[in-house]
Amino acid sequence: MADARPPLFILVAGEASGDLLGSDLIQGLRQRFPDARFAGIGGPRMREAGMEIWHPLERLSVMGLVEVLRHLPTLLALRRDVYSRTLRERPDAFIGIDAPDFNLGLEKKLKRAGVRTVHYVSPSIWAWRENRAPKMGRSADRVLCLFPMEPPIYARHKVDACFVGHPLARDFAQSPDKLAARRTLSLPESAHVLALLPGSRLGEIARLGRDFLDASALLRREFPDLHIVIPAANAACERAIRRLVADRERTVAGGLDPHSDAMDDVTILSPLHSTPPPSHLALIAADAVLLASGTAALEAMLAKRAMVVAYRIARSTYRIVHILGLLKTTVYSLPNILVGRTLVPELMQDHCTPPALAGALAPMLRARAPSAETLDEFIRIHESLRGDPAHSAAAAVAELVATAQ
């Protein structure tokens, strides 16, 4: 290092998946730099790994153009604070973990000020605009990619990027044990089990949660033994889910919605920092999964479970995206993007209705497993994503830091 002080790494993560990546990276870096300090924005896992938390990551957990605009003054003040602190601290590297709307502008300013910058998790340049790749190079000295098809895209634009492997590929066995997961969660071994993952943001739960529950109630007409399991991403999400379930049951019990059925046998899993996490156990225990588009789709694929992917964003955001032609892909979920076609059904925006969701899920619950073709693709993708992300990402950061000596 350039001086006698302990190495310092500042990290900024914006959601639960980034908290996991950050904690693994901290552990990998600590193996190389035992006396290193870590500080920035993160969650409980990064705190447990020894990072000084300047601000909790929940302050960055907003999504969509309209949602970001509403929180813009707070986000800008937060970014100014992180920028000034980082310049005072002069870290050996600044590492932005996902959260591109927040991190890329911050990284660009820091890079211009002479701070080494790393962006961990490439934005979906294949889905949106490849011409974002040069922008990444102006912000980050090095981009760490979770998917093997990403570095060649960056190479075309002379941006330093490397594939480090996806940490989730390490966390799932190729043949997860459904019965063992059900026993761990005290779920009935022979019942039909549907996992609901309505998102890790409160806005997602508000937009999707009721439709997910209504779809589940429709399915119970064909599957009277159906058990619903809903893992919560964090404490705030758990409170929102519990309120949603309770409000729905009060509405049904009061006869205010004669078209809805009551729901028994709903298990809401509290977020725990355990191995494996409750969300992974819920996916493995399920016969089928209904989930919000995002990392959960990748997790369900790695769990080798049949799934329906649904999503609905604010109508104003949706209109802006389509008017400006920002979306460059006809598929949305990671399993479909990785194979370049519709492997798992997607019901987006106005197509995301309880009858449509229930209709797509019913044959999956009857079969209790993905089709042979789908399963083969899941296994192939799983193998392509394997690696040792904590080691590889830490090695990539350490190499970048060494070049600055």
pLDDT given for residue 61 in this prediction: 65
pLDDT given for residue 391 in this prediction: 92
Using the predicted structure, report yes or no on whether residue 276 has a pLDDT greater than 80. Answer: yes
Distance CA 65, CA 332 (A): 18
pLDDT given for residue 71 in this prediction: 65
Better-predicted residue by pLDDT, 301 or 341? 301
Using the predicted structure, report yes or no on whether residue 371 has a pLDDT greater than 90. Answer: yes
pLDDT given for residue 65 in this prediction: 44
Percent of the chain at pLDDT > 70 equals 88
As a 3-state breakdown, the chain gives helix, strand, coil percent values, each rounded to 5, of 50, 15, 35
**What DSSP string runs through 158-205?**
T--EEE---HHHHHS-SS--HHHHHHHTT--SSS-EEEEE--SSHHHH
In the sheet that 52-56 helps form, which strands lie side by side, from edge to edge? Answer: 52-56, 37-42, 8-13, 93-97, 117-120, 142-145, 161-163
pLDDT given for residue 226 in this prediction: 97
pLDDT given for residue 130 in this prediction: 65
Alpha helices in 58-196 (DSSP H): 65-70, 72-89, 100-112, 132-139, 150-155, 167-171, 178-184
Map tokens 């007409």 to a residue.
Answer: 221
Query: What confidence category does residue 400 fall into, taking pLDDT thresholds of 50, 70 and 90?
Result: very high
Better-predicted residue by pLDDT, 404 or 321? 404
Q: Which two tokens stand for residue 121?
A: 């998790």
Average pLDDT over all residues of the chain: 89
Using the predicted structure, report yes or no on whether residue 258 has a pLDDT greater than 60. Answer: no
Distance CA 206, CA 369 (A): 29
- The distance of Cα 160 from the centroid of its chain, to the nearest Å, equals 24
Instruction: Report the range out of 17-26, 372-381, 384-393 with the highest average pLDDT.
Output: 372-381
| Domains of the chain: residue spans and CATH | 8-165+387-402 (3.40.50.2000), 171-385 (3.40.50.2000)
Question: Do 312 and 352 contact (CB within 8 A), yes or no?
Answer: yes
Better-predicted residue by pLDDT, 405 or 341? 341
Q: What is the mean pLDDT of residues 206-217?
A: 95
Query: What confidence category does residue 266 fall into, taking pLDDT thresholds of 50, 70 and 90?
Result: very high
Using the predicted structure, report yes or no on whether residue 318 has a pLDDT greater than 80. Answer: no
Q: What pTM was estimated for this model as a whole?
A: 0.78
Using the predicted structure, report yes or no on whether residue 149 has a pLDDT greater than 50. Answer: yes
Question: Do 347 and 357 contact (CB within 8 A), yes or no?
Answer: yes
Q: What is the mean pLDDT of residues 208-230?
A: 96
pLDDT given for residue 317 in this prediction: 61
pLDDT given for residue 394 in this prediction: 96
Query: What confidence category does residue 229 fall into, taking pLDDT thresholds of 50, 70 and 90?
Result: very high
Using the predicted structure, report yes or no on whether residue 372 has a pLDDT greater than 60. Answer: yes
Question: Do 126 and 149 contact (CB within 8 A), yes or no?
Answer: yes
pLDDT given for residue 298 in this prediction: 95
Using the predicted structure, report yes or no on whether residue 66 has a pLDDT greater than 50. Answer: no
Using the predicted structure, report yes or no on whether residue 262 has a pLDDT greater than 80. Answer: no
Compute how many other C-beta atoms are within 10 angstroms of the C-beta atom of residue 52.
12
Q: Which two tokens stand for residue 9?
A: 């790494």
pLDDT given for residue 251 in this prediction: 82
Q: What is the mean pLDDT of residues 333-359?
A: 92
Better-predicted residue by pLDDT, 367 or 319? 367
Closest among 141, 177, 185 to 159, alpha carbons compared: 141
